Amino acid sequence: MPVTRAYVALGSNQGERLRLMQLALDFLSSHELSIVQVSPIYENRALGMAEAEDFLNAIAEVNTSLSPINLLDRCLLVESEFGRVRGKEWAPRTIDLDIITYGHEVIQHPRLCIPHPRLTERDFVVHPLNAIAPDLVICGQRVSDIAQSLPIDELTLTDYCLHF
């Protein structure tokens, strides 16, 4: 299968957040997926989660020969390995991995929608993505333009970093 560039969002708001994000990034890597670069890490409020710890969020740019569904399955496996329990939608999580884009594909599948359906509403996704791919075009818009139109709401750049 040909190699495709994809962007994967990483987030955590339970436990050792930074360590869990690093372990998830390491676990994602394989002969079928290589990390190209990782955005700075941002901290933000936990949307819709009363009294939950703040999230750490970042975006990883990856090259992969996995199909979109196989990439999704890899992300779900990583989440499971690091204690993610899927219950209600707005719940704390040890690790959260979302495929933001997969090449230039638009996918509407029962298990996967690409580009991520709420991308343009989420400052904690758009601003890290803008840090590493401002010229990326999603749904006819440059990421830098999306970021400019999306205010930063309680989003803070941290000094943390992920290694690959």
- What are the catalytic residues? 84, 93, 96, 98
Residues 6 or more apart from 47 whose CB is under 8 A from it? Answer: 90
CA–CA gap between residue 43 and residue 91 (Å, rounded): 17
Question: How does 46-71 read in b/e, with b if 16+ C-beta sit within 10 Å?
Answer: beebeebeebbbbbbbbebebebeeb
